[in-house]
Every structure is written in C-alpha cells, then in structure tokens.
Amino acid sequence: MIPELSALEARVIGSLIEKQITTPDQYPLSLNALLLACNQKSNRDPIIELSEAELQGLVDGLVRKHLVMEKSGFGSRVAKYQQRFCNTEFSALQFSPQERALVCELLLRGPQTAGELRARASRMAEFADVAQVESALEQLMRHAGGACVARLPRDPGRREARVAHLFSGEVAALSAAAAHVAANLPAASAGAPPAGPEAGALGAAQLTARLVTLELQVQALRLELQALRARLGE
C-alpha cells in the first residue's frame, strides 16, 4: 500500500531521506536540524518557512502514521527523528539506491523531467545516463505495492514530459483541482493564469505545482493557528 502524504509531509519525509543519504553522520535529525532541512533554500521547490511549532505538528502526525520515529541516543536529551517511509525494516517500500534518490528529489522539488532528475539526484545515487533514470522510473511506475510515480502530459513547448510522485494523491486529480483553482483566481491577482486562449499555455505540471504551493500555504496557516490555540490554552 502506498502511503499518502500532504505536501508538507512530503517535504518532511524528503528532507529526512536526503539527509540520511548525504549526511549519515548527522542522522537521525534533531527537530532544529530537520527544520533547517525543510526550509533550506537549495534543492527545494517551493521554498517554505515552517516554524518549529508547525514542524513539530507535522512530525507528530507522521509518527502517528508510523512514517517517522523518534530515536535518541543513549543519554541524549534531544529528541531525534528518522524516517520509516522507505528502505527500513518497518516499511513495505524497498527501493534501489537510484529509485530512492529519484523519489527523494520528487518529494523535495515536485514534477521534473528525467534530465532534471539525473542532474539533481546524482548527489544521492549514481546515474550513468538518462536511460538509467528512465529505467528506474519505469520500475517505480510498476512497483509491486502500487505505482509510485506517473508521467504528466507534456507541456506545450517542452521537449520532455515531467514525472511526479503519487504519494500525495493521483496526479490527474491534482491537475484537475489545480485547473479549477487557477480558473477561479481573480484575473488581477499575482500569478493568476492569463485569460482566453493564453490560458491553454499553462501545462498540467505548472498547475500541479501551483496547487502544491497553495496547499503548502494553507497547511502552514492551519498549523500556525493550532500552535496559537495551544499557547492560548484552547
């Protein structure tokens, strides 16, 4: 069964997987280290600014889902966290190093082409060429527990189609919802899609990315409200 993640949960899981691979001597991560990883300006899209309280709420939810666990060393006073999402004894998702690197990049950056994935995921696994990326993506599409990634319709003017992960719901549903959101944004608002024939120039991947950004903002506001209510004793 494929775990389902919100956009913010995907950022947390992706950050944990990334640091597990790239800085194993500093893993598991303290809450502060995980906060820096989620909010870092490089290798992330979109860039977000979670607060410590917001992140704690996300981590607690992932612990309840058994996708993250607290693991502190002997005598340590600082709680540290590690992912149980994939490639652990607790997870049904067992990926090759190449597959895990691709999943991690998709969780951190959203839809990308095979060429983009090769350039960006090579810091976590070796890819001889784009064909090896495509082969790993095909394995993820045919994963025994259910498809983990899907190819999006090619955007107008682009030579390559993008690939998206499926851990936050079906790509088709996301694209349809994104189109609905974009169509109902005021024309004068910042980032609103152009009206008339120009609207067709926005591809499904762009609309999906816009929806993810909106979801991140809404969830961050909800977590901020929860933290405020907790401080007020409600």
Position 188 in a domain: no
Q: Count the domains in the chain.
A: 1
Tell me whether residue 192 is in a domain: no
Has residue 122 been placed in a domain?
yes
Is residue 112 within 8 Å of residue 120, measured between CB atoms? Answer: yes
In a domain, 184, yes or no: no
Instruction: Give me the amino acid identity at 20.
Output: Q
- The answer to whether residues 211 and 174 touch, using CB atoms and an 8 Å cutoff, is yes
Residue 216: inside a domain: yes
pTM of the model: 0.76
Residue numbers of the domain that contains 53? 7-179+198-232
The answer to whether the beta carbons of residues 148 and 2 sit under 8 Å apart is yes
Whether residue 164 lies inside any domain: the answer is yes
CATH number for position 64: 1.10.10.10
**Domain membership flag for residue 2:** no
Question: Is 210 part of a structural domain of the chain?
Answer: yes
**Distance (Å, whole) CA 62 – CA 147:** 21
pLDDT in tens, the chain (234 residues): 789 999 999 999 999 999 999 999 999 999 999 999 999 999 999 999 999 999 999 999 999 999 999 987 666 689 999 999 999 998 999 999 999 999 999 999 999 999 999 999 999 999 999 999 999 999 999 999 899 999 998 888 888 999 999 999 766 444 444 444 444 545 444 444 554 444 444 455 556 556 666 766 665 566 556 556 655 665
Q: Give the containing element (helix H, strand E) for 88.
A: none
**What would the DSSP string read from start to end of 184-207?**
TS-TTSTTPPPPGGGGGGS-HHHH
Residue 43: which residues within 8 A CB-CB, separation 6 or more?
A: 18, 108, 109, 120
